[in-house]
Amino acid sequence: MRKIPTNSKPSPGKAELPLDLSGPHVTPGASAQQRLYQALCHAILGGIVKPGEPLPPSRTLARQTGFRRNAVVTAYERLIADGFAVATTGSGTFVAARIPARAREAPKPKITIDAPQQGALALGCTHIDGRALQRFRAFVGRRMRAFSAEHFHYGDPRGSRELRAAIADHLLSARGLRCDPEQIMLTSGTLHGLRIVLSAILKPGDQIWCEDPGYPIARRTIEHCGYRAVPVPVDASGMVVANGRARAPAAPAAYVTPSHQFPLGVQMSMPRRLELLDWAREADAFVFEDDYDSEFRYDGAPLLSLAGIDHLRRVIYMGTFAKTLFPGLRIGYCALPEKLIGPVTAARAALDRFPGTLMEGAVADMLNSGAFAANLKKVRRLYREARDVLASTLSAASDGELSVPVPSQGLHLVARFDASTEPLVASQAKSAAGVEGWLLAETYHRARPLPGFVLGFAGHDLPQLKASAERLAKASLATLRESRKPRARGTKTPTARATL
């Protein structure tokens, strides 16, 4: 086996590297650095460049391929991270002397985060900037190389203090919420945190206020755990607290999305927030604040969190990295009132001992290094553009039959028909268009559902997003026209109520 020279520079003969940038080994539509990385892997595995041989300087390869130099540098960094290449200071980048055994088979095109496998308009999709992804990979690699004793024993049920401290700093700067790292508990997501805290503070059969319409998966979780969800209507100012008082004045908990109500997108007004906190104090109750997408605000600074107003006395704040990084991390967190730290920690220890430790350090590095904030800044611009494309396309292609308020925050929007529209129109149009997303009716519990759609715009390619929106708008028009045709005498108008 040839050894990598330590004091040689890439030879001129290797400056022009034959690369196949359009073969089946390259993912169509992938980013420049991803296509270049795949082409380089193909050349290395195919023997075009041998182990130990030099790769062209980044500027040379940039001129040859027409890509920007930073795309070449990023591709080289990924080759090094994956073991295909090594870099020698002052000498350049070389093919590794030994290629990873797992890669000796013919390479297959990789699915990247840039190409989500859910259809356009689906909720829950995200995007991560290429540079941020590279930094995350580097942080994970560094943490794995420095594998420490902490992974060989059971840890704190709340998770690593390092990540909890980084989250506490983030909450103070981004949400105006001051808390000690001791008050933070890491979870595998919002629903996981909800289950843990509920088990610590409630008993089976207890009532919990839930927004109607609201997040149906949270309501199902609450009911599955043996608690009773009390539907409380939502208006333009958020949850109608007076209605909750009338229906269940002594309920020990409420679940709300005050910064960006799901699904309607309204913001809970300050008078309504104070009214909710007054009730919680009077009833000796706790409020779960699900702040699921506050980092994605497009007009002005984010509103102060409910927990920030309350100073974490009666509010349990819940956040997640599923939207700000990617769902596969399975890392969320709760910020707890001091009086709940003991019982909630005990409940966590009884439920699943402690969270996984391998990714915690890398996420802490993302937060502490500034890479997390830089990624948010970049993807916020992408999501704003996607939001505008989706809203304008739906409005124009539906001839105004769909009302599409443009949200100032979040990763989804609501497209509504006139309230007098037959209930089946939305479901028939969605089925005919073959698109993802939710029916607005699916988010209602007892209130009369409005006809319309809840549509995601984050993490989708713009052309696919636009095409899907056009299909849905056209299907909506066709279904509306059909529903307005005169019916034969005696024919009943179909009615439907979506159930979950």
Question: Which of 262, 273, 207 shows the shortest CA–CA distance to 240?
Answer: 273
pLDDT digits (tens, 9 = 90+) for 191-217: 999 999 999 999 999 999 999 999 999
Nearest to 23 by CA among 148, 121, 107, 144: 107
* pLDDT exceeds 50 at position 62: yes
> Is the pLDDT confidence value at 4 over 80?
no
Residue 178: left (phi > 0), alpha (psi -120 to 50), or beta?
A: beta
Its pTM stands at 0.74
- Positive or negative, the CA dihedral 164, 168, 173, 174 is positive
Task: Give the mean model confidence (pLDDT) for residues 277-291.
Answer: 97
Element (H, E) at 71: helix 69-81
The model's confidence at residue 115, banded by pLDDT at 50, 70 and 90, is: very low
Angle among Cα 325, 326, 331 to the nearest 5 degrees reads 85
- Evaluate whether 437 touches 455 at the Cβ level (below 8 Å): yes
CA distances from 66 to 18, 21, 23 (A): 14, 11, 17
Phi/psi region, residue 27 (left: phi>0; alpha: psi -120 to 50; beta: rest), is beta
pLDDT tens per residue, range 475-488: 999 999 988 887 65
Structure tokens, 218: 């949270």
Residue 299 has pLDDT above 90, yes or no: no
Place of tokens 């700000």: 324
DSSP 8-state class, residue 94: E
Confidence class of residue 118 from pLDDT cuts 50, 70 and 90?
low
pLDDT tens by residue, 397-450? 999 999 999 999 999 999 999 999 988 899 999 999 999 999 999 999 988 899
Percent share of the chain, pLDDT over 90: 66
Can you tell me the distance from the alpha carbon of 427 to that of 453, in angstroms, rounded to the nearest whole number?
9
100 vs 191, residue with greater confidence: 191
Q: How confident is the model at residue 147 (pLDDT cuts 50, 70, 90)?
A: confident
Residue 10 predicted with pLDDT over 50: no
Residue pLDDT, tens place only, 237-275: 999 999 999 999 999 999 999 999 999 999 999 999 999
493 dihedral zone (left: phi>0; alpha: psi -120 to 50; beta): beta
Residue 395 and residue 404 in contact, taking contact as beta carbons nearer than 8 Å: yes
The span from the CA of 322 to the CA of 319, in Å, is: 9
**Contacting residues for 102 by C-beta, under 8 A, at least 6 apart:** none
Q: Are 389 and 465 in contact (CB under 8 A)?
A: yes
Position 22 scores a pLDDT of 76
In this structure, which amino acid lies at residue 401?
A: E
What pLDDT does 414 receive? 97
Q: What is the mean pLDDT of residues 175-192?
A: 95
* pLDDT above 70: residue 3: no
